């Protein structure tokens, strides 16, 4: 009998995953990952992980499977929290959920599971796994979940073949309503529990407060750039090569304080991210202001009025070589090659047509349509026919 360790998070998805595996005849063990100790930055006084681990325990009891809490807060701090601070400090916007899957759930947690004699680890992610034979080698595919509204393949875009070989996604074929129905039929305490928002496994954390622990507040200017600024009328030169053209369009707009006018003050450029609207607290404009660029060196936030401001849009982005990741290594591109794909630059975004171009220094992703708020530090993931082929960090 194969042994599976399920990451029970105290939510409905992982509860139903555990139930389904048991029905399928696996020996199932539930583990709850405790990843956070610091109560100074959680939003509410009640401790979210305590309630969650309690729910996870009650589900395990109901299913009659062994249950244990594992404390991964050290590893979490080293690999996720420190990464977040260093990214914000550089003026990039990290994606802790993608990293949490790569570094915690399918690395630290996976090793614990293997030490416990597990054949697989399972999670409550809405995605599917396929298996192909590529020139005699067993190759694993990461496929979108059946539920188009809930597909979470994006969060797993950094997984390797090795990690996928040990992963099971029992609810990938189901929709959220079907998952809730099973939980209700099985009388699981998590059946009506709301989906958790916030950092993976931390619970509700207020990001600015979280960041203020390490990045001290410092006042700076909020500057608004007019949408008819000359910056957006740059002349497009004749290009000698495709690469020159891509590089030109991938380059982001750069601003100086002289390009706009100061409309307010902020408490630290590294608390803001491109495309952000909340938290600017600037009144008196016809349309709301959006962050179009942050300058963490000079501590300035550049904004534009309205969500159609040209400063928010670009068509091409770049991923440097050391940040390209192929879930399907057999499809790795050579310099000079291109590939038609569909891609997204954030979770929940619908897939957009794009073309990949491999060059010596990295990979260009050229979208058919302009994209709003392409943000450095976030992940771009590319797909063909529901299969996530690879991903990279936007530089």
Residues assigned a catalytic role: 100, 200
**Interacting residues of 44 by C-beta distance below 8 A, sequence separation 6+:** 204
User: In 3D, which of 246, 157, 146, 182 has the Cα closest to residue 13?
Assistant: 182
CB 109 within 8 A of CB 72: yes
The residues facing 32 across adjacent strands are 69
The residues facing 139 across adjacent strands are 132
What tokens does 213 get? Answer: 């622990």
CB 177 within 8 A of CB 195: no
User: In 3D, which of 259, 265, 272, 307 has the Cα closest to residue 287?
Assistant: 307
Which residue intervals of the chain are DSSP H helices? 12-23, 48-63, 73-76, 82-89, 96-99, 109-115, 161-165, 176-185, 207-212, 242-250
What tokens does 137 get? Answer: 């080698």
The residues facing 352 across adjacent strands are 343
What tokens does 161 get? Answer: 């073949």
């Amino acid at each position: 009998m194969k042994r599976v360790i399920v990451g029970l998070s105290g939510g409905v998805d992982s509860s139903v995953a555990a139930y389904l595996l048991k029905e399928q005849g696996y020996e199932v063990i539930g583990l709850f990952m405790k990843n956070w100790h610091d109560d100074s930055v959680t939003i509410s006084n009640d401790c979210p992980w305590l309630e969650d681990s309690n729910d996870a325990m009650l589900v395990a009891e109901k299913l009659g499977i062994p249950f244990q809490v594992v404390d991964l807060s050290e590893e979490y701090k080293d690999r996720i929290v420190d990464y977040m601070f260093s990214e914000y400090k550089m003026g990039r916007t990290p994606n802790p959920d993608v990293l949490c899957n790569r570094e915690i759930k399918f690395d630290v947690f996976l090793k614990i599971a293997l030490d416990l004699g597990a054949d697989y680890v399972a999670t409550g992610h809405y995605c599917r796994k396929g298996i192909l034979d590529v020139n005699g080698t067993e190759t694993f595919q990461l496929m979108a979940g059946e539920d188009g509204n809930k597909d979470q393949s994006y969060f797993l875009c950094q997984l390797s073949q090795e990690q996928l070989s040990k992963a099971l996604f029992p609810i990938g074929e189901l929709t959220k309503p079907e998952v809730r129905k099973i939980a209700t039929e099985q009388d699981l305490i998590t059946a009506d529990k709301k989906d958790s928002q916030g950092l993976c496994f931390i619970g509700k954390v207020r990001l600015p407060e979280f960041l203020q622990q390490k990045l001290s507040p410092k006042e700076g200017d909020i500057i608004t750039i007019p949408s008819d600024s000359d910056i957006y009328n740059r002349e497009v030169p004749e290009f000698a090569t495709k690469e020159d053209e891509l590089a030109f369009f991938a380059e982001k707009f750069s601003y100086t304080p002289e390009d706009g006018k100061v409309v307010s003050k902020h408490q630290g450029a590294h608390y803001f991210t491109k495309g952000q609207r909340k938290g600017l607290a600037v009144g008196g404009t016809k349309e709301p202001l959006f962050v179009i660029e942050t300058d963490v060196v000079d501590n300035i936030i550049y904004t534009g009025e309205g969500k159609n401001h040209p400063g928010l849009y670009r068509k091409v982005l770049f991923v440097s070589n050391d940040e390209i990741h192929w879930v399907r290594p057999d499809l790795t591109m050579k310099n000079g090659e291109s590939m038609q794909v569909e891609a997204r630059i954030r979770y929940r975004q619908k897939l957009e047509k794009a073309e990949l171009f491999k060059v010596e220094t990295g990979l260009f992703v050229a979208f058919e349509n302009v994209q709003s708020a392409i943000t450095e530090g976030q992940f771009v993931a590319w797909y063909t026919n529901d299969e996530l082929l690879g991903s990279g960090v936007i530089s």
